[in-house]
Structure 1
Amino acid sequence: MNKMSTRTRLLKLALPLISEHGFTRTTLARSVLHLPTPQAHAEPLSDTAVSALFGHGTLARRTLIGAWMDAGLESMRRGADASKSVSVKDALHARLEYNEPVLAHLPEAFALLASPDSGLPPVDPLPALKHAARVADEACHLSADQSLRLSWYLKRGSLIGVYSAAELHQLTSPRSAHAFLDSLLSASSAIESSVKDVEQFSSYVFRSWAGIIKSRDIL
């Protein structure tokens, strides 16, 4: 088995372990314990092996976060395949549900993504925007609901704003996250107005992430 196929296989095995061990090198190291018999290891991977497969230092953690995000999009697709028809609303709710098992670890994971490897700014909102954009794009792609005639549903920027706000809310108030998403989806004119200015929205994401990181004393 080559390095790339081994890496892909172990990343998949690592995903269910995130809820217990977080987005950590430990999670990646323990993935080999869950290989099928007789391939399963008796001991976790060494730190050297983790670096060789997934990257040195925090790069390995970023690799795990990226794999988890990719799997989140795949979970949206599976939900759509199962139901044969999914609305934008259903797709966004499904993506929030995907977060739930690992919510305790998400602030630290997103803080890592928002922290550049070197230099400034100390908190970079671009990864959060890219993440929300991928979720919004997937929700639009999966939706086959012809009854959605409000123009803002077709505006990618609005959906990025909706999902970002709902996910940020979920980190601090998980019980009301789905109701909050519904309130945003129903307030179409307010949403469209609030995210029309990309620079203004980027500033909102920056302030939100910076506030979460500071309150959790993550960095």
Structure 2
Amino acid sequence: MSAQILRAALPYVHSHGFTRAAFSQITAPGTFVPLSGTALEALLGANPERALLAEWLQNGLEDMRVLARDDLQHLHQKHDQLKHVLLRRLQYNTPLLHHLPQAFRSFTALEIRPVPSPLSSVLRTPRPLVSHVVAVADEALHLAKDEARGPEWHARRALVGGIYGLAESHQLKSTSPQDDSAAKLLSRLLDEASRVKSAGEEIEQFGSYILRSALGIVHSAGALIR
């Protein structure tokens, strides 16, 4: 039932954001009564808003799979396939750019109860954001049929995740659907990465650098601070 409720709330995110207001637009299964806050927490845990964002992120991975099934057979180079699905994932964000910065700020909040009184700001962790970009990279590499294995696979995933994270962090600074600078950045970095020929350490170092850069931009945009 929780998955059903989350899916039902997704169409209302555009107008209401990743908030309880989005859930208020749907009714309890089999009734015409909106779900109460107590019912939401019983079904989805103490943070339904976080669960809604997680569902939307998962839906983004599914969107990449649909694109791969429909479009990738026309692209013969793995590099082009990888770029295509990652650009599609950036495009998936576009309708909700006005909600995503706040949603990601909430996503990074550490749930500490009770919060020690001397703390004047909310403690945050980049871990959910890292998990998000790694999941996108993992899916993109899988869809592009990347043949790397073992340590090389992890290095590739770090590299692609870092590049995607950097582009998405740049994208979150804009609220204009017409701003294509993040897509251009993503394309440029992927092209540069494709020229890094050495497997293992060099690729891993480059991926780590890009990932640190991405997290730094997210931090400067306010996603890791109150």
Would the TM-score normalized by the shorter structure come out above 0.5?
yes
CA separation of 1:63 and 1:12: change in aligned 2, threshold 3 A: same
Deviation at 1:207? 2.9
With CA pairs under 8 Å and 6+ residues apart, which has the higher RCO, 1 or 2?
2
Distance 1:13 1:136, change over 3 A: same
Moved more, 175-184 or 195-204: 195-204
Structure 2 residue matching 1:196: 3-state secondary structure = helix
The answer (yes or no) to whether the contact 2:166–2:210 under 8 Å persists in 1 is no
How many residues align? The count is 200
SS at match of 2:124: coil
RMSD, aligned CA? 3.2
Secondary structure in 2 aligned to 1:123?
coil
SS of aligned partner of 2:21? helix
- Does 2:67 align with 1:79? yes
**Aligned in 2, Cα 1:199/1:135: closer, same or farther, shift over 3 Å?**
closer
Relative to 1, partners in 2 of residues 1:214 and 1:171: Cα closer, same or farther, differing over 3 Å?
closer
Q: Which blocks of at least 5 consecutive residues in structure 2 are unaligned?
A: 76-80
Corresponding residue of 1:14:
9
Matched, 1:209 2:218: yes
Distance 2:170 2:57 in 1: 18
1:196 equivalent in structure 2: 205
2:83 aligned residue: 89
What is the TM-score with the length of structure 1 in the denominator? Answer: 0.78
More helix by share: 1
1:109 aligns with 2:99: no
Distance in 1, matches of 2:190 and 2:212, equals 21
Q: What SS does the aligned partner of 2:92 have?
A: helix
User: Which amino acid letter does the alignment assign opposite residue 51 of structure 2?
Assistant: T
1:41-91 CA-partner distances (Å, limit 9, x unpaired): 2x53222222222222xx111111110111000010011111253610011
Instruction: Name the aligned partner's letter for residue 123 of structure 1.
Output: R
Structure 2 distance, partners of 1:211, 1:137, is 26
